[in-house]
Amino acid sequence: MTIIYFTIFSISLLLLIQSLFDYKLKKQQLARKLLTSTLFILISLAISYHQATIYLNRYLIIALFFYLLGDGFLVSVSKASFEFSYGIITFIIGHIFMFFYLFKSYNLIPFLISVLIVFITIVISELFDLKIGKYQKLVYPYTFMLALITFKAIFNYLDFKNIANLLQAIGFCLFFLSDFILLFHHFSNHKQSYIKMANLILYYYGIFLIVVSLAY
Protein backbone atom coordinates (compact mmCIF):
# COMPACT_ATOMS: atom_id res chain seq x y z
CA MET A 1 0.00 0.00 0.00
CA THR A 2 2.89 2.36 0.65
CA ILE A 3 3.76 2.31 -3.07
CA ILE A 4 0.15 3.16 -3.94
CA TYR A 5 0.14 6.02 -1.43
CA PHE A 6 3.46 7.27 -2.82
CA THR A 7 2.21 7.16 -6.42
CA ILE A 8 -1.04 9.01 -5.72
CA PHE A 9 0.75 11.56 -3.55
CA SER A 10 3.51 12.17 -6.12
CA ILE A 11 0.98 12.77 -8.91
CA SER A 12 -0.81 15.34 -6.75
CA LEU A 13 2.50 17.03 -5.87
CA LEU A 14 3.54 17.18 -9.53
CA LEU A 15 0.24 18.88 -10.39
CA LEU A 16 0.91 21.40 -7.63
CA ILE A 17 4.44 22.11 -8.89
CA GLN A 18 3.06 22.51 -12.41
CA SER A 19 0.89 25.39 -11.17
CA LEU A 20 4.05 27.24 -10.05
CA PHE A 21 5.42 27.47 -13.57
CA ASP A 22 2.28 27.67 -15.71
CA TYR A 23 0.65 31.08 -15.38
CA LYS A 24 -2.65 29.73 -16.75
CA LEU A 25 -2.83 27.31 -13.81
CA LYS A 26 -1.99 29.85 -11.11
CA LYS A 27 -5.63 30.20 -10.09
CA GLN A 28 -5.69 26.44 -9.43
CA GLN A 29 -2.70 26.58 -7.09
CA LEU A 30 -4.75 26.86 -3.91
CA ALA A 31 -7.00 23.92 -4.83
CA ARG A 32 -4.05 21.77 -5.85
CA LYS A 33 -2.14 22.56 -2.67
CA LEU A 34 -5.13 21.81 -0.46
CA LEU A 35 -5.68 18.54 -2.32
CA THR A 36 -2.07 17.49 -1.74
CA SER A 37 -2.22 18.48 1.92
CA THR A 38 -5.55 16.68 2.37
CA LEU A 39 -3.87 13.48 1.23
CA PHE A 40 -1.74 13.64 4.39
CA ILE A 41 -4.85 13.32 6.52
CA LEU A 42 -6.52 10.69 4.32
CA ILE A 43 -3.40 8.48 4.25
CA SER A 44 -2.87 8.81 8.00
CA LEU A 45 -6.53 7.91 8.62
CA ALA A 46 -6.34 4.95 6.22
CA ILE A 47 -3.23 3.54 7.89
CA SER A 48 -4.54 4.20 11.40
CA TYR A 49 -7.92 2.62 10.59
CA HIS A 50 -6.26 -0.46 9.07
CA GLN A 51 -4.08 -0.89 12.16
CA ALA A 52 -6.77 0.21 14.64
CA THR A 53 -4.52 3.00 15.96
CA ILE A 54 -6.61 6.11 15.28
CA TYR A 55 -6.77 7.04 18.97
CA LEU A 56 -3.05 6.37 19.40
CA ASN A 57 -2.25 8.63 16.41
CA ARG A 58 -4.83 11.30 17.24
CA TYR A 59 -2.31 14.06 17.97
CA LEU A 60 -0.52 13.50 14.66
CA ILE A 61 -3.81 13.57 12.74
CA ILE A 62 -4.86 16.80 14.50
CA ALA A 63 -1.44 18.30 13.70
CA LEU A 64 -1.89 17.42 10.02
CA PHE A 65 -5.27 19.19 10.05
CA PHE A 66 -3.62 22.40 11.27
CA TYR A 67 -0.87 21.97 8.66
CA LEU A 68 -3.62 21.78 6.05
CA LEU A 69 -5.09 25.06 7.31
CA GLY A 70 -1.64 26.64 7.34
CA ASP A 71 -1.01 25.54 3.77
CA GLY A 72 -4.25 27.21 2.74
CA PHE A 73 -3.23 30.52 4.32
CA LEU A 74 0.32 30.43 2.95
CA VAL A 75 -0.36 29.35 -0.62
CA SER A 76 0.06 32.82 -2.15
CA VAL A 77 0.62 35.59 0.37
CA SER A 78 2.71 38.70 0.56
CA LYS A 79 4.71 39.83 3.59
CA ALA A 80 2.06 42.47 4.28
CA SER A 81 -0.95 40.14 4.30
CA PHE A 82 -2.75 38.93 7.40
CA GLU A 83 -2.96 35.42 5.90
CA PHE A 84 0.76 35.01 6.53
CA SER A 85 0.30 35.56 10.27
CA TYR A 86 -2.64 33.15 10.38
CA GLY A 87 -0.58 30.59 8.46
CA ILE A 88 2.31 30.73 10.94
CA ILE A 89 -0.05 30.55 13.93
CA THR A 90 -1.86 27.47 12.61
CA PHE A 91 1.46 25.76 11.93
CA ILE A 92 2.66 26.54 15.48
CA ILE A 93 -0.52 24.93 16.84
CA GLY A 94 0.11 21.95 14.58
CA HIS A 95 3.68 21.67 15.89
CA ILE A 96 2.38 21.63 19.47
CA PHE A 97 0.10 18.69 18.73
CA MET A 98 2.93 16.99 16.86
CA PHE A 99 5.12 17.37 19.94
CA PHE A 100 2.45 15.62 22.02
CA TYR A 101 2.51 12.79 19.47
CA LEU A 102 6.31 12.51 19.56
CA PHE A 103 6.64 12.79 23.33
CA LYS A 104 7.83 9.44 24.66
CA SER A 105 10.32 10.40 27.38
CA TYR A 106 11.79 13.46 29.04
CA ASN A 107 14.90 14.81 27.34
CA LEU A 108 16.17 18.36 27.82
CA ILE A 109 18.66 18.24 24.93
CA PRO A 110 16.11 18.85 22.09
CA PHE A 111 14.84 21.88 24.01
CA LEU A 112 18.35 23.34 24.41
CA ILE A 113 19.20 22.68 20.76
CA SER A 114 15.96 24.40 19.70
CA VAL A 115 16.86 27.51 21.71
CA LEU A 116 20.26 27.50 19.99
CA ILE A 117 18.58 27.15 16.58
CA VAL A 118 16.49 30.27 17.29
CA PHE A 119 19.63 32.27 18.08
CA ILE A 120 21.29 30.96 14.91
CA THR A 121 18.20 32.01 12.92
CA ILE A 122 18.43 35.51 14.41
CA VAL A 123 22.10 35.75 13.43
CA ILE A 124 21.43 34.47 9.90
CA SER A 125 18.56 36.92 9.42
CA GLU A 126 20.88 39.78 10.37
CA LEU A 127 23.78 38.57 8.22
CA PHE A 128 21.64 38.13 5.12
CA ASP A 129 19.43 41.16 5.81
CA LEU A 130 16.21 39.15 5.83
CA LYS A 131 13.18 41.42 6.16
CA ILE A 132 11.43 39.58 9.00
CA GLY A 133 10.42 42.81 10.73
CA LYS A 134 7.15 42.64 12.66
CA TYR A 135 6.90 38.89 12.11
CA GLN A 136 9.74 38.16 14.54
CA LYS A 137 7.21 37.44 17.32
CA LEU A 138 5.79 34.65 15.17
CA VAL A 139 8.77 33.44 13.15
CA TYR A 140 11.05 32.76 16.12
CA PRO A 141 8.47 30.81 18.19
CA TYR A 142 7.67 28.89 15.00
CA THR A 143 11.37 28.14 14.49
CA PHE A 144 11.65 26.95 18.08
CA MET A 145 8.68 24.59 17.80
CA LEU A 146 9.79 23.14 14.45
CA ALA A 147 13.32 22.60 15.77
CA LEU A 148 11.90 21.03 18.94
CA ILE A 149 9.81 18.42 17.12
CA THR A 150 12.62 17.78 14.63
CA PHE A 151 15.20 17.03 17.29
CA LYS A 152 12.63 15.20 19.40
CA ALA A 153 12.08 12.88 16.43
CA ILE A 154 15.85 12.46 16.00
CA PHE A 155 16.35 11.59 19.67
CA ASN A 156 13.37 9.22 19.57
CA TYR A 157 15.21 7.30 16.86
CA LEU A 158 18.46 7.35 18.80
CA ASP A 159 16.61 5.96 21.83
CA PHE A 160 14.47 3.44 19.94
CA LYS A 161 15.98 2.43 16.60
CA ASN A 162 13.20 1.17 14.34
CA ILE A 163 11.87 1.93 10.86
CA ALA A 164 9.02 4.13 12.08
CA ASN A 165 11.27 6.40 14.14
CA LEU A 166 13.83 6.51 11.31
CA LEU A 167 11.20 7.63 8.78
CA GLN A 168 9.93 10.26 11.21
CA ALA A 169 13.44 11.59 11.89
CA ILE A 170 14.20 11.86 8.17
CA GLY A 171 10.77 13.38 7.49
CA PHE A 172 11.17 16.09 10.10
CA CYS A 173 14.69 16.89 8.87
CA LEU A 174 13.27 17.44 5.38
CA PHE A 175 10.48 19.55 6.88
CA PHE A 176 13.02 21.64 8.78
CA LEU A 177 15.19 22.10 5.69
CA SER A 178 12.17 23.13 3.61
CA ASP A 179 11.32 25.90 6.07
CA PHE A 180 14.93 27.06 6.15
CA ILE A 181 14.66 27.51 2.38
CA LEU A 182 11.26 29.21 2.81
CA LEU A 183 12.82 31.68 5.26
CA PHE A 184 15.13 32.98 2.54
CA HIS A 185 12.49 32.77 -0.17
CA HIS A 186 9.86 34.75 1.70
CA PHE A 187 11.93 37.36 3.51
CA SER A 188 14.61 38.15 0.93
CA ASN A 189 14.30 40.25 -2.20
CA HIS A 190 15.24 37.31 -4.42
CA LYS A 191 12.29 35.08 -5.24
CA GLN A 192 12.66 32.26 -7.73
CA SER A 193 10.13 29.59 -8.69
CA TYR A 194 12.74 26.83 -8.46
CA ILE A 195 13.42 27.78 -4.82
CA LYS A 196 9.70 27.49 -4.08
CA MET A 197 9.68 24.15 -5.90
CA ALA A 198 12.52 22.86 -3.70
CA ASN A 199 10.61 24.04 -0.64
CA LEU A 200 7.48 22.17 -1.70
CA ILE A 201 9.31 18.94 -2.54
CA LEU A 202 11.17 18.84 0.78
CA TYR A 203 8.08 19.80 2.79
CA TYR A 204 5.62 17.43 1.18
CA TYR A 205 7.90 14.39 1.01
CA GLY A 206 9.01 15.13 4.56
CA ILE A 207 5.42 15.02 5.79
CA PHE A 208 4.78 11.97 3.60
CA LEU A 209 7.57 10.05 5.35
CA ILE A 210 6.15 11.05 8.74
CA VAL A 211 2.69 9.83 7.71
CA VAL A 212 3.77 6.49 6.20
CA SER A 213 5.84 5.79 9.31
CA LEU A 214 2.49 4.93 10.89
CA ALA A 215 2.47 1.75 8.82
CA TYR A 216 5.61 0.42 10.56
pLDDT (tens digit per residue) in 83-92: 788 999 999 9
Which pLDDT does position 190 carry in this prediction?
66
H or E element, residue 37: helix 29-50
pLDDT classification of 30: cutoffs 50, 70, 90 = confident
- For a pLDDT cut of 70, what percent of the chain falls above it? 95
Which pLDDT does position 12 carry in this prediction?
95
Would the pLDDT of 77 be above 60? no
Phi, psi of 78 (to 5 degrees): -105, 165
Per-residue pLDDT of 134-160, as tens digits, reads 888 999 999 999 999 999 999 999 999
The amino acid that residue 151 corresponds to is F
Nearest to 64, CA basis, from 216, 211, 174, 215: 211
Average pLDDT, the chain: 90
